[in-house]
Amino acid sequence: MSAKFGVIVFPGSNCDHDAYHALAHVMNAETKFLWHKDTDLSGIDFLLIPGGFSYGDYLRSGAIARFSPIMQSVIDFAEKGGPVLGVCNGFQILLEAGLLPGAMLHNQQLRFVCKHTHIRCETSNSLFTRNIEKGSILKIPVAHGEGNYFTDDDQLKKLQDNDQIVFRYCDEDGNTTEEANFNGSIDNIAGICNTDRNVLGMMPHPERAVEDILGSDDGKKIFESVLNELAVA
Amino acid sequence: MYKATVNVTLRESILDPKGKAAHHALKDLGLPEVNSVRIGKLIEMNIDADSKDEAFEIAETACTKLLANEVMEDFEIEIHEN
């Protein structure tokens, strides 16, 4: 039996169809859209919270979306070990929902940045990176204005000590330079997971890097890891 | 009926890029006397409550659960009788 993927759609999501395309047409996984008012996740093996501007980013990015009916189900799903990937606005929603620690500030230079970036995989110990060797460099695009990850020093130390930093911005040779850290994120953080390692939030968009014609297919490695994990489980 | 005025501000330790940009613009405008700018949010709520204390508690719950993100923001509540 093949794994079933769910892509959550909030009012204002705009990467939902990209995510659907990547999962259904490129990865050939059974995929369905889940409306934010749905609460029934039965039969779903993997949840993707896509990018966009849920609720117009009113108040703060992700702040309103986390009160959508589906989010309680997402929290229950995650607490039972279900894999949840939040991309961009999806990452912001996971932060606001408390599934991941920290918060997002405006990019330090205040500009919305839309470009290809390089990120370094910092751990293979997560559902999403099991197939990706530590130190690998992935080319994956970003598109955000509020991706400046922030957390206090104590929490940052916990993330470092628990190996929860999954991706860091780097240059094409893998150096985590200040220049590569275009949005000002603390410790070059591009993606983190929870302590149970089944919830990943990342600002870059792997669903936009799944075919050569898009400039990179490195994003596939993340989905392949999840598919492999689910096939074994 | 009470009126709650909530000031949400970025914590002092946090860089405020919007404030910084506004500060630059104020300098360009010919106001070098302005030393620093921090930009926050002002939120007003009308609250049905039996007492000022109750109204404060309701406003505080609203702030901690939604209106402010305490990872990066502080808030101050003022309650006035309407």
Q: Over the stretch B37-80, which tens digit does the pLDDT of each residue have?
A: 999 999 999 999 999 999 999 999 999 999 999 999 999 999 99
A60:B14 CB<8 A: no
Please report, for residues A1, A28, B68, the alpha-carbon distance to residue A96 in angstroms, rounded to integers and kept in the order given: 34, 31, 11
| Interface with chain A: mutation pick from B66, B71, B75, highest number of A CBs within 10 Å | B71
Give dist(CA A60, CA A56) in Å, integer: 9
Bigger pLDDT: B12 vs A3: B12
Handedness of CA A21, A26, A27, A30 (dihedral sign): positive
B66:A152 CB<8 A: no
Amino acid A54: pLDDT: 94
Each residue's pLDDT expressed in tens, for chain A with a length of 233 residues? 478 999 999 999 999 999 999 999 999 999 999 999 999 999 999 999 999 999 999 999 999 999 999 999 999 999 999 999 999 999 999 999 999 999 999 999 889 999 999 999 999 999 999 999 999 999 999 999 999 999 999 999 999 999 999 999 999 999 999 999 999 999 999 999 999 999 999 999 999 999 999 999 999 999 999 999 888 76
Tell me the CB-side half-sphere exposure of residue A17, using CA atoms within 13 A.
2
List domains and CATH numbers for chain B.
Answer: 2-81 (3.30.1280.10)
| Interface with chain B: mutation pick from A64, A66, A105, highest number of B CBs within 10 Å | A105
| A46-49 and A84-87 strand pairing | parallel
Give dist(CA A220, CA A211) in Å, integer: 8
Window 30-69 of B: residues touching A by CB (8 A cutoff) are 66-67, 69
A110:B67 CB<8 A: no
Which of 3.30.565.10, 3.40.50.880, 3.40.309.10, 3.40.50.1100 would CATH assign to domain A4-232?
A: 3.40.50.880
| Interface with chain B: mutation pick from A152, A153, A155, A186, highest number of B CBs within 10 Å | A152
Chain B residue with minimal CA distance to A183?
Answer: B17
Per domain, the residue ranges of chain A are 4-232
Amino acid A233: pLDDT: 64
Please tell me which of the candidates B10, B17, B72 has its beta carbon nearest to residue A110: B17
Nearest to A87 by CA among A225, A191, A194, A175: A191
Residues of A annotated as part of the active site: 88, 205, 207
How sure is the predictor about B17, in pLDDT bands with cuts at 50, 70 and 90? confident
Chain A residue numbers with beta carbons less than 8 Å from the beta carbon of B69 are: 60, 63, 96, 103
Amino acid A231: pLDDT: 84
Question: What is the SS3 string spanning chain A?
Answer: CCCEEEEEECCCECCHHHHHHHHHHHCCCEEEEEECCCCCCCCCCEEEECCECHHHHCCCCCCCHHHCHHHHHHHHHHHCCCCEEEECHHHHHHHHCCCCCCEEECCCCCCCEEEEEEEEECCCCCCCCCCCCCCCEEEEEEEECCCEEECCHHHHHHHHHCCCEEEEEECCCCCCCCCCCCCCCHHHEEEEECCCCCEEEECCCHHHCCEHHHCECCCHHHHHHHHHHHHHC
Tokens, residue A219: 């994003």
Sheet holding B73-81, edge to edge: B41-47, B2-10, B73-81
Give dist(CA A6, CA A16) in Å, integer: 10
Amino acid A2: pLDDT: 72
B14:A150 CB<8 A: yes
Inter-residue contact A163 to A187 (CB < 8 Å): no
Chain A residue numbers with beta carbons less than 8 Å from the beta carbon of B67 are: 59
Residue A232, C-beta contacts closer than 8 angstroms, at least 6 positions apart: none
Chain A residue with minimal CA distance to B70?
Answer: A103
Considering chain B, what percentage of its residues have pLDDT values greater than 70? 100
pLDDT, tens digit, 9 for 90 and up, residues B34-46: 999 999 999 999 9
